[in-house]
């Protein structure tokens, strides 16, 4: 078989020795009839397609790229070309597996264009053509769902690029201007224009092969992506690309499979353009080989470009209007809307959509004090759980959880909710949703919450000690209220959610998590007296201090974690101490460990069996620390606050025994980093997260220290989050265009 293993000139085969045909080899084979090359790479048959173990997510956990990477270049494990024929790389567009190019923000796409530039600069000196592209959609061969593109550097000039270059050469020989520049001028403001900016024009070429094919050409004459200047030209490109893809999605009422291809050459006569080739011709109808008469290379377009351009212009406009509405929503809420539309499109009976969300929390201090009638000092953070959906006239509610990738339904009329859930396999997240609805109907006879369909999206790490379950409970209650359910005060909602949590998960939590999820205010901590439920907002004014949370990735299941056992021990200690105290002073009442003083412990502690004295000592000293920490916060004294955090950790570790190796290791590593003000385990313990107060200048140093030591000492990777002190639950009704 004639083949080629070296760079070819002008589309002609060079003299090349026959290469071996081992499975792992790749080769370029010359087609003498069409005068073009075909690549062959049998090893690509072994690709793992659409696996759940995403190889690109693994880059972050296996140390291939730094764990905080947002977008990166990696080798292609199944290269279609190998030197000297070419090289293949993957460009990972986002660390987030569930994003798509279409929903990336302008800064995120700018970062991707940065990757396109880097890979072009790297490969173009060595190869005549650098093909950067993306295939999106399984029907046209996307094999990994994780958002990514690819770059193939090829040792030959692909046929289409060669022909485009020839057009440029012909124009030059005739003394005409660049034909791409001429095309931009001719199409501007014309009937085939889809969107036009100061730096880029997107139009359907007069000779388009695909109905919705858009060519995005830069107004400035530049031959490759590296010629695109930072700032406006790049930002406009970054805005236009996803806008066009979103318009496709709207046109097809579903994510539209497309190819995106950068046409660029290291020949300054050439003119950079991006081809966007969506392979649908109408909703549900593909335009692949079946309708393009491919066997002849003769393309049949089932449309007139002017008609499709007008359609796309309208979609671009409507999409942008909708985006403006969506941008008012926090990211998880936006994603909930998108997931709702994807999951329930066919069920949608009426617009508009109701969206609700509630935050996760970081407890500054006051651990295991809430169920002892003590004090806590939590803040809400910029992590939340959101529901988006619509009511309907039936009696069955349906929910889709993006995190669990599960869809469930349950009868949600009053009688059905009040009856016990007999389905043994109902997942926990559904029990939470149902549990809140149940408490709502149990607490108020009317009005009843209507049945609904909703999608649930959150970015509070599940099992990460930031109270994702309370965020879910409160988000459901807020959603139900927005649908016309009973309107409760924030504290009533918190108490209701606490009851729901106990009933659905069997964990008798205190009130802290639900209270902060309901009462939070941006930039304030909540000093809550868990006995009287009176509270005070204390401003978090600690300039230059970052509230960081390190997720140990030791998942903690509250019910099985000894939480209820600790609660039980506190009750026993209360009863014993109560008896001892009252024997000496009948006027005193010990209803909870809140009523015990350090003097009491000194006097009666020896009579408590181990571990009850230590449990009680933690609660008594922790209550005092909360009040002292609140004082430090009022005074804006971050050092003092930090010192209380360390003391709290020691007490939780030694007296309350709810820490674990991983949490202790985090606190130890953090404490050794200069600029860290304080650290402690947070929440119920037995895993989950640690809170670290750190100077912003040291944040990166802390990250490095954790990355250097935590995995080696624990065998786990862990994850550091930077948190903003944020507000409480909200809901909105958003009117979106019907697709």
Give the nearest distance from C-beta 689 to ligand GLA in angstroms. Answer: 11
Give the nearest distance from C-beta 232 to ligand GLA in angstroms. Answer: 48
- Write the CB contacts of 564 (distance below 8 Å, at least 6 apart in sequence): 507, 508
45-49 own/partner pairs: CB under 8 Å, 24+ apart: 46/78, 47/77, 47/78, 47/143, 48/143, 49/143, 49/144
Instruction: Examine residue 233 and tell whether it contacts ligand GLA (CB under 6 A).
Output: no
Instruction: Examine residue 551 and tell whether it contacts ligand GLA (CB under 6 A).
Output: no
Give the nearest distance from C-beta 527 to ligand GLA in angstroms. Answer: 15
Among 183, 367, 439, 655, binds ligand GLA (CB under 6 A): 367
> Phi and psi (nearest 5°) for 228?
-85, 120
Q: Using CB under 6 A as the criterion, what x/- string covers residues 440-479 for binding ligand GLA?
A: ---------------------------x------------
Give the nearest distance from C-beta 684 to ligand GLA in angstroms. Answer: 4
Residue 208, Cβ density class (10 Å: 0-12 exposed, 13-18 middle, ≥19 buried): buried
Instruction: Examine residue 400 and tell whether it contacts ligand GLA (CB under 6 A).
Output: no
513 is an active site residue: yes
Give the Cα separation of 339 and 355 in Å (integer).
Answer: 12
Give the nearest distance from C-beta 642 to ligand GLA in angstroms. Answer: 19
CA-based radius of gyration for the chain: 31
Give the Cα separation of 642 and 648 in Å (integer).
Answer: 10
Among 147, 278, 280, 510, binds ligand GLA (CB under 6 A): 510
Give the nearest distance from C-beta 608 to ligand GLA in angstroms. Answer: 21
DSSP-derived letter for residue 64 is S
Residue 712 structure tokens: 């080696």
Give the Cα separation of 216 and 272 in Å (integer).
Answer: 9
Can you point out the beta strands (E) in 499-634?
524-529, 535-539, 545-551
Give the Cα separation of 374 and 38 in Å (integer).
Answer: 74
By C-beta, is 37 or 371 nearer to ligand GLA? 371
Give the Cα separation of 395 and 448 in Å (integer).
Answer: 11
Q: Are strands 193-196 and 129-136 parallel, antiparallel or unpaired?
A: unpaired
Instruction: Examine residue 432 and tell whether it contacts ligand GLA (CB under 6 A).
Output: no
Among 87, 370, 382, 439, binds ligand GLA (CB under 6 A): 370
By C-beta, is 85 or 467 nearer to ligand GLA? 467
- Write the CB contacts of 468 (distance below 8 Å, at least 6 apart in sequence): 360, 385, 458, 460, 461, 462
Angle at 418 between CA 414 and CA 419, to 5 degrees: 120
By C-beta, is 509 or 574 nearer to ligand GLA? 509
By C-beta, is 220 or 462 nearer to ligand GLA? 462
Among 509, 552, 651, 689, binds ligand GLA (CB under 6 A): 509
Residue 300 structure tokens: 């049949």
Interface segment toward ligand GLA; rule CB under 6 A; list 173-181, 332-340, 505-513, 606-614: 505-513
**Which of these is catalytic: 382, 513, 551, 664?**
513
Which residue, chain included where needed, has tokens 């024009």? 201
Give the nearest distance from C-beta 471 to ligand GLA in angstroms. Answer: 11
Instruction: Examine residue 236 and tell whether it contacts ligand GLA (CB under 6 A).
Output: no
Instruction: Examine residue 373 and tell whether it contacts ligand GLA (CB under 6 A).
Output: no
Instruction: Examine residue 365 and tell whether it contacts ligand GLA (CB under 6 A).
Output: no
Give the nearest distance from C-beta 373 to ligand GLA in angstroms. Answer: 12
Interface segment toward ligand GLA; rule CB under 6 A; list 75-83, 96-104, 321-329, 368-376: 368-376
Instruction: Examine residue 368 and tell whether it contacts ligand GLA (CB under 6 A).
Output: yes
Instruction: Examine residue 385 and tell whether it contacts ligand GLA (CB under 6 A).
Output: no
By C-beta, is 498 or 553 nearer to ligand GLA? 498
Query: Which run of H or E residues covers position 290?
Result: helix 289-292
Q: Chain centroid to CA 383: how far?
A: 10
Map the footprint of ligand GLA across residues 660-719, applying CB under 6 A: 683-684
Q: Which residues bind ligand GLA (CB under 6 A)?
A: 367-368, 370-371, 467, 509-510, 512-513, 683-684
**Residues designated catalytic:** 513
């Amino acid at each position: 078989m004639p083949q080629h293993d070296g760079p070819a000139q002008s589309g002609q085969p060079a003299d090349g020795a026959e290469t071996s045909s081992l499975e792992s080899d790749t080769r370029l084979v010359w087609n003498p009839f069409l005068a073009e090359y075909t690549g062959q790479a049998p090893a690509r048959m072994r690709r793992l397609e659409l696996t759940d173990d995403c190889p690109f997510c693994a880059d972050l956990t296996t140390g291939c790229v730094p764990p905080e990477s947002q977008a990166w270049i990696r080798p292609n494990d199944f290269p279609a070309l190998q030197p000297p024929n070419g090289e293949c790389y993957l460009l990972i567009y986002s660390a987030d597996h569930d994003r798509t190019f279409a929903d990336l923000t302008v800064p995120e796409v700018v970062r991707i264009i940065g990757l396109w530039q880097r890979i072009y600069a790297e490969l173009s000196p060595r190869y005549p053509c650098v093909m950067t592209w993306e295939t999106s959609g399984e029907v046209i061969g996307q094999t990994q769902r994780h958002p990514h593109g690819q770059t193939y550097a090829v040792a030959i000039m692909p046929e289409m690029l060669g022909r485009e270059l020839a057009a440029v050469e012909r124009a030059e020989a005739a003394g005409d201007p660049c034909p791409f520049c001429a095309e931009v001028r001719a199409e501007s403001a014309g009937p085939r224009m889809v969107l036009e900016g100061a730096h880029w024009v997107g139009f359907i070429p007069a000779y388009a092969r695909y109905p919705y094919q858009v060519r995005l050409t830069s107004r400035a004459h530049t031959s490759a992506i590296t010629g695109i200047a930072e700032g406006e030209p790049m930002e406009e490109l970054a805005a236009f690309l996803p806008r066009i893809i979103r318009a496709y999605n709207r046109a097809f009422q579903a994510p539209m499979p497309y190819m995106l291809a950068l046409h660029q050459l290291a020949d300054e006569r050439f003119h950079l353009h991006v081809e966007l080739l969506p392979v649908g011709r109408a909703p549900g109808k593909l335009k692949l080989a079946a309708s393009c008469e491919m066997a002849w290379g003769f393309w049949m377009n089932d449309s007139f470009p002017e008609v499709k351009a007008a359609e796309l212009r309208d979609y671009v406009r409507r999409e942008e209007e909708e985006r403006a509405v969506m941008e008012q929503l926090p990211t998880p809420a936006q994603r909930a809307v998108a997931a709702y539309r994807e999951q329930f499109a066919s069920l949608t009976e009426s617009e508009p959509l109701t969206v609700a969300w509630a935050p996760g929390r970081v407890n500054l201090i006051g651990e295991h004090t809430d169920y002892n009638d003590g004090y806590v000092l939590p803040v809400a953070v910029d992590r939340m759980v959101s529901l988006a959906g619509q009511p309907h006239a039936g009696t069955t509610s349906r929910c889709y959880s993006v995190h669990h990738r599960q869809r469930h339904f349950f009868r949600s009329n009053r009688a059905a909710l009040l009856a016990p859930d007999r389905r043994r396999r109902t997942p926990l997240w559904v029990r939470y949703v149902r549990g809140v609805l149940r408490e709502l109907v149990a607490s108020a006879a009317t009005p009843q919450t209507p049945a609904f369909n909703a999608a649930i999206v959150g970015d509070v790490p599940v099992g990460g000690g930031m109270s994702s379950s309370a965020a879910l409970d409160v988000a459901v209650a807020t959603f139900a209220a927005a649908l016309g359910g009973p309107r409760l005060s924030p504290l009533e909602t918190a108490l209701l959610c606490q009851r729901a949590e106990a009933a659905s998960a069997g964990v008798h939590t205190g009130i802290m998590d639900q209270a902060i999820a309901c009462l939070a205010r941006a930039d304030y901590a909540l000093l809550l007296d868990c006995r009287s439920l009176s509270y005070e907002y204390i401003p978090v004014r600690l300039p230059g201090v970052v509230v960081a949370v390190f997720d140990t990735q030791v998942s903690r299941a509250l019910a099985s974690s000894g939480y209820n056992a600790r609660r039980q021990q506190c009750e026993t200690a209360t009863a014993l101490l109560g008896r001892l105290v009252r024997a000496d002073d009948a006027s005193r009442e010990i209803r909870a460990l809140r009523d015990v003083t350090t003097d009491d412990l000194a006097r009666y502690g020896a009579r408590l069996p181990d571990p009850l004295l230590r449990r009680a000592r933690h609660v008594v000293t922790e209550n005092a620390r909360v009040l002292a920490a609140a004082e430090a916060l009022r005074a804006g004294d971050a050092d003092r606050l930090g010192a209380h955090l360390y003391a709290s950790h020691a007490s939780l570790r030694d007296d309350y025994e709810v820490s674990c190796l991983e949490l202790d290791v985090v606190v130890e590593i953090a404490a050794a980093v200069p600029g860290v003000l304080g650290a402690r385990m947070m929440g119920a313990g037995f895993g989950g997260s640690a809170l670290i107060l750190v100077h912003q200048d040291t944040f990166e140093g802390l990250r490095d220290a954790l990355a250097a030591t935590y995995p080696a000492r624990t065998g786990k990777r862990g994850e550091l989050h930077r948190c903003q002190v944020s507000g409480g639950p909200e809901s909105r009704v958003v009117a979106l265009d019907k697709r």
